[in-house]
Amino acid sequence: MVPKLLVHGGAGRYRKVSEERRQRVLCEIENALYSGISALRSGSAIEGVVEAVSYMEQCGAFNAGRGSVLNLRGEAELDAGVMFGLDLSVGAVAALNDYWNAVRLADFIRQNTDHIFLAGEGARLLAEKLGMEKFKPLPERVKKYRELMRKFKENEIYWRKNRQLVSRYGLGTVGAVAIDSDGNLAAASSTGGIWLKLPGRVGDTPVVGGGFYAENGAAAASATGRGELIARFMLSARIAAEVRRGLNASDAAKKVVRELTDMFGANTAGVIVIDRNGNYGYAYNTEVFIIGIYDGERMETKYILEQKNSST
Ligand code: ASP
pLDDT in tens, 47-104: 999 999 999 999 999 999 999 999 989 999 999 999 999 999 999 999 999 999 999 9
pLDDT of residue 150: 82
- Stated length of the chain: 312
Q: Residue 310: is its pLDDT beyond 50? A: no
| Cα of 275 from ligand 1 centre, angstroms | 23
Average pLDDT for the chain: 93
What is residue 306's DSSP assignment?
-
DSSP string, 112-143: HSS-SEEEHHHHHHHHHHTTPPB----HHHHH
pLDDT of residue 171: 79
- Ligand 1: residue whose CA is nearest its atom 6: 225
CATH homologous superfamily of 4-305: (Glycosyl)asparaginase (3.60.20.30)
Give the tens place of pLDDT for each residue, 203-218.
Answer: 999 999 999 999 999 9
pLDDT of residue 161: 58
pLDDT of residue 294: 98
Higher pLDDT, 47 or 150: 47
Give the tens place of pLDDT for each residue, 12-55.
Answer: 888 778 899 899 999 999 999 999 999 999 999 999 999 999 99
Strands (E) across the chain are located at: 4-12, 78-84, 89-96, 117-119, 174-179, 185-191, 212-214, 219-225, 269-275, 280-284, 288-294, 299-305
Distance CA 35, CA 215 (A): 23
Higher pLDDT, 147 or 104: 104
Give the pLDDT mean for 143-159. 74
Ligand 1: residues with CB < 6 A are 10, 12, 170, 173, 191, 193-194, 203-205, 224-225, 227
| Cα of 42 from ligand 1 centre, angstroms | 31
pLDDT of residue 169: 63
- Ligand 1: residue whose CA is nearest its atom 4: 227
In terms of Cα–Cα distance, which of 115, 71, 116, 117 is closest to 97?
71
Under the banding of pLDDT at 50, 70 and 90, the label for residue 166 is: low
pLDDT of residue 312: 42
Give the tens place of pLDDT for each residue, 185-196.
Answer: 999 999 999 998
In terms of Cα–Cα distance, which of 4, 14, 5, 32 is closest to 284?
14
Give the pLDDT mean for 229-255. 98
Q: Residue 177: is its pLDDT beyond 80? A: yes
pLDDT of residue 99: 98
173 is catalytic: yes
Q: Residue 309: is its pLDDT beyond 70? A: no
Give the pLDDT mean for 277-281. 98
State the sign of the Cα–Cα–Cα–Cα dihedral 193, 197, 200, 204.
negative
